[in-house]
Amino acid sequence: MFVALRENGEYISLVEKWKRSDLLELRSNESFLCPACLSKVQLKAGMKKTHHFAHLRGAECSVKTEPESEYHLEGKRKLYRWFQGQGYKVQLEPYLDEISQRPDLLVTTEDKQYAIEYQCSQIDYPLFKKRSDSYRNKGIVPIWILGAKWFKRQSTYSVRLSPFQWLFATSFNQPFQPSIHYYCPDTSTFVKLSNLQPFTTSETFCTIQFHKENVHTFPKLLAPNQPMFTYQSLWVRKKYKWRASYSVYSSNQIASFLSSLYQYQIPPSHLPAEAGLPVRSAYWFQTPPMIWQMWMVLDLLLPLPIGDTFFFSKAMEVISKRIASNNITIRHLPLIFHTQYSLAVEEYLDLLVKAGQLKKLTQTIYQKAREPHIPANLEEAYNMDLALIKRLEIVGKNEEVGMVKPNIGG
């Protein structure tokens, strides 16, 4: 950490460059305390690492933190200067006594406060949620930024995201599509992932943007992206690969899924085109879209006679049962508050309406219009996938872009 208490009760900050000789003299003449737990801390003034304070070995601070690497310290220093350079009131490592938290930075604007957490090491979900909730309960918007060493690009339009990285998906308390943010102090670059569209448990299609800090601003960081999905052809090719080698993408949930498919005499490579569609809010599902959507086909659509109807609540019941049986897993997204996974279910049903599989009779009632077609081979499956994705793309262009309003009741 950069900030400590001096013996006279004043704060001392090492964020600005100090001469090492001055720090050594300071260290020999006085002691320093942690502003949170008031225990003694060491002034580290070595030759290699950024000068900072650290708790004594074995000490337990009331604010649970992780060891800070040189990368973390330099990132925090640069982010502090970045906010300062834009004229914001920014506090470095302030201790918030009411909630026993010490964010890396606290930024105050005309109408809001933002807790900036620059996270370079892994922390578990309960601690991440506890910190985030404590800020929100105090009326502070938490903004978590990952160290860019976590950024794992797979292709021009896809990245690898671990469950830990998904915790950082945020919409900044606003009702728009979430994004994930990284910062690299070595290159002074922000990385933004938006239009998140998971394909497998770990691989996600997305829009990847790089912003140099000298031309990037805080309002731009907070700004929403225009929702879009422009990877249709890539999605179809990736889906073909999944069909041809689904076992490579195996997980603990695949065994029960395969068993149910075989009961219907459906090879995994011959899923109907309607299973595995890109849904805007699919980020809620850790289970790949080919699997969670096929469960809906198996449990809801196939047993239903053509012409029969069902309520939206029935679709939610089907999904809820599969979640309870551990056949479908929902992601932990502690920074997203304006939607739930039910929105992804509704968006999927609306895609089936556009595809002609269903008819939407009312806001909450759907009618089965035709049977799902099971392809006879991989070539037919690919052609069906391509035809359907193009049809949905055309239909989507003719409709108003906007979020689906959640169903109520029914």
Predicted confidence (pLDDT) at residue 400 exceeds the cutoff of 50: no
pLDDT at 185 over 50: yes
3-class SS letters over the chain: CCEEECCCCCEEECCCCCCHHHHHHHHHHCCEECCCCCCEEEEECCCCCCCEEEECCCCCCCCCCCCCCHHHHHHHHHHHHHHHHCCCEEEECCCECCCCECCCEEEECCCCEEEEEEECCCCCHHHHHHHHHHHHHCCEEEEEEEEHHHCEEEECCEEECCHHHHCCCECCCCCCCCEEEEEECCCCEEEEEEEEEECCCCEEEEEEEEEECCCCCHHHHHCCCCCCCCCHHHHHHHHHHHHHCHHHHCCCCHHHHHHHHHHCCCCHHHCCCCCCCCCCCHHHECCCHHHHHHHHHHHHHCCCCCCCEEEHHHHHHHHHHHHHCCCCCECCCCCCCCCCHHHHHHHHHHHHHHCCCEEECCCCEEEECCCCCCCCCHHHHHHHHHHHHHHHHHHHHCCCCCCCCCCCCC
Q: Which domains does the chain have, with CATH numbers?
A: 3-55 (no CATH), 70-222 (3.40.1350.10), 232-397 (no CATH)
Rounded mean pLDDT of 20-27?
71
Q: What is the pTM of this model?
A: 0.85
pLDDT in the model for residue 15: 74
pLDDT of residue 408: 36
More confident residue, 250 or 379: 379
